[in-house]
Structure 1
Amino acid sequence: MSAREFFDIPGGIHPDERKTLSNRTAIQSAPLPKRLILPLNQHIGTPAEPCVSVGQRVLKGQLIAEATSAVSVPVHAPTSGTVSFIGAQPYPHVSGMLAPAVVIDSDGLDEWAPLQPCDHFHQLAATELLEKIRAAGVNGLGGAGFPTAVKLSARPQQKIHTLIINGTECEPYITADDLLMREKAAELLSGINILAHLIQPEEVLIGIEDNKPEAAAAILRLIGERPYEVVVFPTKYPSGGEKQLIQILTGREVPSGGLPADVGVLCQNVGTTVAIHDAVILGRPLISRITTLTGEALARPMNVECLLGTPVSELLAFAGLQQDKLNRLIMGGPMMGFTLPALDVPVIKTTNCLLASTAAELPAPPPAQPCIRCGDCAQVCPASLLPQQLHFFALGEQTDQLKAHQLFDCIECGACAYVCPSSIPLVQYYRAAKAGIREQEQLQQKADYSKQRFEFRQERLRLAEEQKEAERQARAERNAKARASQTDSSPVAPADEQLKRLKIEASMAQVALKKAEKQLAQHDTDELKAQIAQLRRAAEAAQLALQQAQANAPEPAAVPSSSADDQLKKARIEAAMLKAQVRKLEKVESPNAEQQAQLEQMRSQLSSAEQALGNSPTPAPTPAATPAKPVVDAALKKAKIELAVKRAELKKAEKAELAEAELQSLRAAVSVAETALHAAEAASPKPAPEHVLVNKSGLDEQQRALKTEVAFARADLRKLERDGSAAAQALDSARTRLAEAERQLAAYQEQSAC
C-alpha cells in the first residue's frame, strides 16, 4: 500500500452504506436466460446498426450490430441462439420508453464464435490495440458509458502523465467493483498493463476507499514489481466522481467545463479495465458484467456475473425477490440511480446495481417545503456550487444565470437533496434545467445552420443572376453590333421607311375609325358622332398622305405575278378539292342511289378539271413568282397541323367512349381537314405525296366489350399474383377467366376479318 499523500474534497456526506448486504458472498453466475434483449444504444453516442436478420442463428460473441459513427460501439450476441425480433423493446429508463433492440432466443448451447486472443500485446501498435478495444464494444462500466476507445484515442494538448484506476465505488449498497477487485485482481492488473502501454503515463494510481480492505489487499498481493500505487483514502460520498477522485489523489482541480485530460490525467473504472483485458488478451467482446443484486426485498442479496440483455425479472427471481415486500426497484444506487417502472427491462452495459427496496428501507420523501435558506446544500456540494441559487434560477428558467453559476459542473450526486431539511428534490430541478438548456442549444444550432444555408443560397442566386445579366448584356451587344453591321451593308432608303410608316399610320387610323363606328351602332350619342367625324378626317388625311408618297415613290423592280399563274393555282386547288370529295364518297361501303349519283357527278367534274389543268400552259418561272412559295408552303404546313390535331381529338374521344353523335362530328371535322390538306398539297409546288387509304373506323360495341373484359381479367390476375397470401383456387379461377376472355376476343376478330 502506498504512503502517498492524498487530499480532501469540499463538501461530501456519509450516508448509510448498507454494503454488507451483498459483499459477503462470492460472485455468482446467473442462469442462462431463454430470451435476451440487446438494446442498440447501451452507451453515450450514436446507436449501433443491426447487421443480422430475423431468423438468423448467431453464436456467442458474434457481432450483431455495428458502430455507426466515431462515438459509438458495436453490440455482440451474449449467447448462441436465433434472432427472433428486431425493433422497439423495453429499455431501462425512468420514462419507461421503448428503444430499438435485437432479441435473441437462446438455444441453450452457449456456443462461442471463433475468437482471436492475443498474449503479446506489447508487439502491437497503439492503433491495433485501440481497434481491438473498439471492436469488442467496450465502453465505460462505472459511469455514463462513454466509448472507451474514443476516450483513449483523444489526445489533448499536453501529455497524459497520470493514469488513475477508479476502484472507489462510493455509492451506498453497490459492491460490484469491490467483488471484482477481490476475485479478478490478476485480470485487472493485466488491463492496467495494456492501458499503461497505450498511454505511457509517468505514474499509475489505483484509488480505493478504506471500506474495501479485502480489495486493496488482493491487488497489493499481485502488484509485485509493477510501478503502480494503491492509494487507500477515507470513505466519503461522492469521492468516486471522476473530478473528485483526481482532486483526492493529485490535488489538481479539473477546470470548470473542462476534462481530466486538461490537467494531464486519464481515469478508467476497474470494470472497464477488466473488459479491456478480456478484449485484448482473450479476444472476447463485452457481453457480460458483474451486477449487484441487493435490497431488503431480496432473500439472497449477492453479486452476479450476468449476460447483457438478461431480463431484470429473472435476475431478481434468482436472488429470491419477495414481491410482497418490494416497494421500489432502483437501477443504480439510492443516490444517483433511478426507479424502474417495470421488471421486463434488460441488463445493459452500465447496469451496476439492482436495488429492490422495501417501504421501510427507502421511505418516500415527505412533501417539499419552501426553501429556508439554511445553506446546508452549499456546504455538502463537492463541486463548490450554490445549489440554492441554482434551484431558484431553474424555477425561473433563467438560462443565462444557470450557465453563469456553472450548472453543468453539477455531477448530480444528490448530496444537496440528501441534506435538505425542506425535502426539495434539487437534483431533479437541475436535470430538467440541463435538458432545457441542451434543447435550446440544439434549436439554436439548427437555426444558425438554417440561416447559414439560407445566406449561402441567396449568395448563389445573386451570383447566378449576375452571371445571367452579364450574358444578357453580352448578347445585346452582339446583336447591336450585328444590326449595325447589317445596316451598314444594306441600308434602307429613307423613302421606303417613310412609306412604311405612312402605311402603318393609315391602317391604324382605319382600325380606330371602324372600332368607333361599332360603338356608335350600339350607343348612338352625340359625343361618339363627333369622335367618329374627327377619326374619319384623320383617316382620310393619313390615306391622302400615303397616296401622295406612293405616287412620288419609284416603281418597284419586281414584276407582278401573271394572271396565268393565278389561274393555274386556282385550277389545281379546284382539282384537289374534287379529288378529295371523290375519295370520301368512295370510302362509303354501301352507298345509296343518291350517293352513287353524286359520286359519278364528282368523277365527271374531276375528269374535266384534270383535263383543263393538263391543257393549261405552264408559265416560265420568274423572279417575281419566287416569293409565292413560302406562302404555299406555310398553308401546307398549317393544313397538316390542323389534320393532326383533329385526328388526335378523334382518337382521344374514342378512348373516352363518347357518344356516337360526338364521334360523328369529330370524324366529319377530320374529313374536312383531310380535304383542306389535299387542296394545299395540290397548290404546293412540291410533288404530291402518295396517299394510302387506311381503315380507321372505330371499334364496334361487341369488340370493345370483349377487349374490356380481357383488360379487367388480366388486371385481376396480376393483383392476385402480387398478393402473397392469395389462395391457389382464386389464382386458378383468375387464369381461367383471362384465357376464356382472350379466346372469345380472338374468335370474334377472326370472324370479323372473314
Structure 2
Amino acid sequence: MALKLDGFEGSGTFAHGIHPPDRKAFSKDAAIRVMPTPDKVVLSLHQNIGGPCEPLVKPRQTVSWGETIGKGTSFVSTTLHASVPGVVQRLMRVTLANGRHMDTLPIKAQGEIPSGQALWDEIFGGDWPTTGMDDHDPAQISRDINAAGLVGLGGAAFPTHVKIMPSDKKPIHTLIVNGCECEPYLTSDYRLMIEAPAPIVSGALLAGRSLGAKRIVIGVEDNKMPAVEALKTAAAGTGIQIAVLRTKYPQGSEKHLIQAVINRQVPLGGLPSDVGVAISNVGTMAAVARAVIHNKPLTHRVISVTGGGIVNPSNVLAPIGVSFGALIDFCGGLRPDAARMVAGGPMMGFAFTNPDTPVTKGTSGLTVMNRDEVAAGEETVCVRCGKCVDVCPMRLVPTKIAMASRHQDIALSRRYNIMACFECGSCAYTCPAHIPLVQLIRAGKARVAAADRG
C-alpha cells in the first residue's frame, strides 16, 4: 500500500475491501447512445431517499417535456418532471426493482422532443463556463437544484439540494466528486467522464460555490485513465484536482473515498459533513450544471445495459421511467443463456424478474448475467473463517449482524451496528458458505428502521 497519494493527504486507497473481476469490458468502449422516445414512461412518485412527492397533474392531462408533475412533501424530498411529452394516465401502484411498492404516474408519449444527437446536445452539449461562479448566489444554486429534481445519480438517490446547501453549522472545506464507479460491470459514469467532462467540471464549480468549499477534488480509479485525462483537460486552470486512486471495491463508498483522498475518518454513524466534506457523483455534477446554467430539470440519465446476457451491451441516454424491457430491446434483446436481471450492478444492485419495471433517477445500470456468471454454490453453515470480517470496509462482523437479523433480534442487531453497514456486498462475495449476508442485513435494517418509527 502506498504511504501517500501524490498531492493529497490520503494514500489513494483504504483498508479491507475486495478485488472482484470488474467485467467492464462488456461496455466500457461503447459510446453513449441516445434512446428514442418510448411509447410510455412510468414515473414513480418516490424517486429518492426521504419523502415521496405528491402529484400535481391529473389523468388525461397533457404535459410537456420537463414540466413539473410532482412536488416534494418534505425537506428531504424533491420534485418530479415529465421525461416525455404526452398524456397522463391513471395513477397506478408498481413494484420497483428494489421490491418497494410505489404509486406511479404513467405518461403515454405524445408530441416531439429532440432525438439522437440533438437530444445529446440539448442535455450535455454547448459551452459550460468555468469562470464567473462567484456571480451565482449559493442559496439560489441549491434552490435551482431542488427545482430541477436532482438526486444523487450514483445510486443512493439522496436529494442533491440538501447535500449542496450552504451551512453555518457544518462548514464544508472540501467537495469530493465521485468518479470511481467501482461496481463491477457498470460503465455509465466512465463514458460520461470521457464524453461530457465539461458539464461535470462546471457543475462541480457551482456545487463548490454553493457549499463554500475551498477545495474541489474529482476522484477516479486508476483503471479509468482515459477518463482521468479527459477531466484533467476540462478542469485545466480551474483549481480542481484529479485524484487517481487505486482500483478496489468499494472505493466509491463516500467514507472510504474521503479516507483515500484526504485521510479523514468519518465517525461510525456519522456523515461526511462531520469532517467538513461533501460527496457527490460525476453524473450529478453534470445535472447540476444543466439545472443552474440552463434552468433545465432532470429528465434523462445515462444507464449501462451490460453483462453476458445482453446481445449488444451499451451505455444509453434514456428517459426516467422507461421500462427495463425497453432498454433491453434497444440493446438487441437477451441472449439465449440470459439468467438474471439486476437493477444496478451485482454487488449492490437488486435482482428482479419483471421487464416492465421502470427505471428511476437512481438507476445507474441494468446488468443481465448469463448462466455461467450467476453460477453459485448452495448455502451451508457459517464456518467462522472470518473472511467477511477481513474484507468489511466498515470493520463490522457481518455474520453476527446477519444472524441477529435472521432471528429478528432488533436489540442485538443494533448492538452489532447494523445501520453502519452500507450493503456493499464484500462479505457475501467472499463468504465460502454462500450465506446471503446482504439480503439478511437489508431485512434487519428494515426492521430496525420500522422499530425506530414506532
Tell me the TM-score normalized by structure 2. 0.92
From 434, 440, 443, give the equivalent of 1:423: 434
Pairing 1:243–2:260 present: no
Q: Distance in 1 between matches of 2:169 and 2:89?
A: 48
**Cα distance, 1:247–1:370 mapped onto 2, change above 3 Å:** same
Cα deviation, residue 228, structure 1 = 1.2
Mapped to 2, the partners of 1:138 and 1:251 lie a distance apart of 29
1:315 aligns with 2:318: no
Q: Alignment partner for residue 80 of structure 2, among 68, 72, 75?
A: 75
Structure with more strand by fraction: 2
User: What secondary structure does 1:361 align onto?
Assistant: helix
* Pairing of 1:485-634 with structure 2 (within 5 A): none
Structure 1 position 48 matched with structure 2 position 60: no
Name the SS of the counterpart of 1:322 in structure 2.
coil
**What is the match of residue 325 of structure 1?**
337
Cα distance in 2 for residues equivalent to 1:187 and 1:338: 30
Give the number of the structure whose residues are more often helix, by fraction. 1
CA offset digits 1:200-256 (Å, max 9, x no partner): 212111110001001000011122211111010110001110111011111111101
1:338 CA drift (Å): 0.9
Q: How does 1:287-436 map to 2 (within 5 A)?
A: 287-322=299-334, 324-363=336-375, 365-436=376-447
Query: Post-superposition shift, 1:304?
Result: 0.6
For 2:452 and 2:101, locate their aligned partners in 1 and report how far apart those are by CA, in whole Å: 26
* Cα offset, 1:154, TM superposition: 6.4
- CA-based RMSD of the aligned residues comes to 2.1
Mean CA deviation greater in 284-293 or 29-38? 29-38
Q: Higher relative contact order by CA 8 Å / sep ≥ 6: 1 or 2?
A: 2
Contact 2:153 2:364 survives alignment (8 Å): yes
The residue identity in structure 2 corresponding to 1:251 is N
Task: Give the whole-Å Cα distance in 1 for the aligned partners of 2:14 and 2:444.
Answer: 26
Number of the residue aligned with 1:212: 224
> What does residue 120 of structure 2 align with?
none
- 1:11 counterpart = 2:22: no
Unaligned 5+ residue runs, structure 2?
116-122
Which residue in 2 is equivalent to 1:110? 113
Q: Which of 98, 102, 111 is equivalent to 1:99?
A: 102
Aligned residue pairs, count: 437
Structure 1 position 157, deviation (Å) = 3.2
Q: Which amino acid aligns with 1:106?
A: A
Q: Does 1:22 align with 2:34?
A: no
1:434 maps to amino acid? K
Deviation string 1:427-477 (CA, Å, 9 cap, x unpaired) is: 11211111111122222xxxxxxxxxxxxxxxxxxxxxxxxxxxxxxxxxx
Aligned with 1:150 (options 162, 167, 174): 162
Does the Cα contact within 8 Å between 2:171 and 2:212 map onto a contact in 1?
no
Of 156, 174, 178, which aligns to 1:166? 178
The residue type equivalent to 2:233 in the other structure is R
Q: Tell which structure's C-alpha radius of gyration is larger.
A: 1
Provide the C-alpha distance between the structure 2 equivalents of 1:55 and 1:130, rounded to a whole number of angstroms: 33
**AA matched with 2:174:** T
Distance 1:219 1:322, change over 3 A: same
Q: CA deviation at 1:388?
A: 2.8
Q: Which residue type is aligned with residue 347 of structure 2?
A: M
TM superposition shift of 1:389: 2.5
Which residue pairs with 1:656 in the alignment? none
Counterpart amino acid of residue 419 in structure 2: F
Deviation at 1:108, TM superposition (A): 4.1
Question: Alignment identity in percent?
Answer: 37
The one-letter amino acid paired with 1:109 is E
Distance 1:404-1:362 versus aligned 2 partners, 3 A rule: same
Helix, strand or coil for the counterpart of 2:47? Answer: coil
* Residues 139 and 166 in structure 2, CA contact (< 8 A), matched pair in contact too: no
**Is the contact made by 1:136 and 1:284 (CA closer than 8 Å) also made in structure 2?**
yes
Specify whether residues 46 and 33 from structure 1 end up closer, same or farther in structure 2 by C-alpha distance, changes over 3 A only. Answer: same
Unmatched runs of 5 consecutive residues or more in structure 1: 444-754
Q: Distance in 2 between matches of 1:359 and 1:154?
A: 49
Give the alignment of 1:167-182 within 5 angstroms: 167-182=179-194
Aligned to 1:254: 266
Shift of 1:64: 1.0
